Amino acid sequence: MHHDILIIGAGMAGLSCALHLAAAGLAPALIDKGRGPGGRMAARRVAIGGADVSFDHGAQYFTARDPAFAAAVAAWQEAGAASPWPEAGEEAFVGTPGMNGPLKVMASGLAVRWGVRALTLTQAGDLWRIATDAGDITARTVLVAVPAEQAADLLRDAAPDLAASPASIQSAPCWAVLAAFHAALPLSQAAIRGDGDAAISWAARNASKPDRGGAETWVIHASPTRSRALLDLPKDEVAAILLDDFWSASGLASLPPTLHLDAHRWLYALPQVAKGGGPARFDPALRLGIAGDYLHSPRVEGAWLSGRALAETLLAA
């Protein structure tokens, strides 16, 4: 299979880059190892008591400060793919009906192959050969839009200079707990934020977000320190430990029994930001580029802006 431009990673950065290239008349192809749109804006659907319930276990909400990103958010709202979520603040938005709503809309007009993982990148004449778990792909231009550590792995041998900035990043991990309770928790607030030393950095009543279904669902995030301490434990054990931490943080006398309890480990949840070099990198001689939140800011908006910056740099080159 051959493409003129291949983007590896169809999260917010990769899709933003692809849409900006498509708007300029190019036809990028994308591959993503995930089964569908999500990346770190994933939503997991679970059947609870016969009802279909969705949990946002990665990013919780996003804000829009840049005018161009704010316009994109307004378009997602028009399309029914995003909505304000005042519980997290006046400027907070969430995807609808799950956090990946905007990504679904973005991906819908693009050539994305889901469930395809890039393994290695090698030069073959003036083309790149991308070995994947679904066979080889060749491309003239390759844009890598995956978390920093994974970008460094892909690029280390093929382009050591380009690999240097992602290789300098250490992302904080995050254990996320997905809990549904038999009864509503008697808490007035829909979100609890932990301070620097707290075991729980964030917990939110997922059901208070629009279109999430009626069950009493919560998503609980462990702090980076707590996540590192529990990093290699089995997820069921982690879920039980963090549920206890959440109970302490909530101040409730007791928690009702859980209807559903699961945990997900994000190894590369929140990156530091690479120093210098701008919000994206493109090497015109190699025809190889990188984008991602780690080049701008560790947020949904940062990923979108980085993807756009990569498209603009490529178009200018």
Ligand X SMILES: Cc1cc2nc3c(=O)[nH]c(=O)nc-3n(C[C@H](O)[C@H](O)[C@H](O)COP(=O)(O)OP(=O)(O)OC[C@H]3O[C@@H](n4cnc5c(N)ncnc54)[C@H](O)[C@@H]3O)c2cc1C
CB of 271 to ligand X, least distance (A): 8
- Name the minimum Å distance from CB 261 to ligand X: 17
Question: CB of 63: closest distance to ligand X in angstroms?
Answer: 7
Say how many C-beta atoms besides its own lie within 10 A of residue 126's C-beta: 7
DSSP letter for each residue of 4-54 = EEEEE--SHHHHHHHHHHHHTT---EEEESSSSS-GGG-EEEEEETTEEEE
Nearer to ligand X, 50 or 201 (CB): 201
SS (H, E, C) 103-148: HHHHHHCCEEEECCCEEEEEEECCEEEEEEECEEEEEEEEEECCCH
Using CA atoms, how far apart are residues 52 and 46, in angstroms rounded to an integer? 6
Q: Count CB atoms within 10 A of the CB of residue 223.
A: 21
The piece of 75-83, 159-167, 282-290, 300-308 that touches ligand X (CB under 6 A) is: 300-308
Q: Out of 205, 221, 281, 308, which residue is the one contacting ligand X (CB under 6 A)?
A: 221
Radius of gyration, CA atoms only, the chain: 20
- Residue span binding ligand X (CB under 6 A) among the ranges 58-66, 121-129, 189-197, 237-245: 58-66
Taking CB under 6 A as the rule, does residue 150 contact ligand X? yes
- Can you tell me the distance from the alpha carbon of 233 to that of 169, in angstroms, rounded to the nearest whole number? 24
From 3-11, 226-234, 249-257, 280-288, span contacting ligand X (CB under 6 A) = 3-11
User: Closest distance between ligand X and the C-beta of residue 275, in Å?
Assistant: 18
Task: Note whether 61 binds ligand X by CB under 6 A.
Answer: yes
- Nearest approach in angstroms of CB 262 to ligand X is 14
- Say whether residue 181 binds ligand X (CB under 6 A): no
Residue 252: count other Cβ atoms within 10 Å of its Cβ: 13
What is the smallest separation between the CB atom of 220 and ligand X, expressed in angstroms?
A: 11
Q: Residue 266 corresponds to which tokens in the numbers above?
A: 């994000």
Out of 159, 300, 305, 314, point to the residue binding ligand X (CB under 6 A): 300
Q: Judged by CB, which is closer to ligand X: 40, or 104?
A: 40
Per CB under 6 A, 10 contacts ligand X: yes
As a whole number of angstroms, the longest Cα–Cα distance in the chain is 67
Residue in 6, 13, 53, 230 binding ligand X, rule: CB under 6 A:
13
* Residue 95 binding ligand X, by CB under 6 A: no
Q: How far apart are alpha carbons 196 and 44 in whole angstroms?
A: 28
Cβ contacts of residue 181 below 8 Å, gap of 6+?
Answer: 216, 217, 218, 255, 256, 257, 258, 259
Q: Which is nearer to ligand X, 75 or 131 (CB)?
A: 131
Residue 118 interacting with ligand X (CB under 6 A): yes
| Part of the chain binding ligand X (CB under 6 A), chosen from 143-151, 159-167, 251-259, 273-281 | 143-151
The verdict on 33 binding ligand X (CB under 6 A) reads yes
Residue 269 binding ligand X, by CB under 6 A? yes
Write the CB contacts of 46 (distance below 8 Å, at least 6 apart in sequence). Answer: 52, 53, 54, 55, 178, 180, 260, 262
**Residue 60 touching ligand X (CB under 6 A):** yes
Binding site for ligand X (CB under 6 A): 8-14, 31-34, 39-41, 58-62, 117-118, 145-147, 150, 174, 176, 221, 266, 269-270, 292-293, 298-300, 302-303
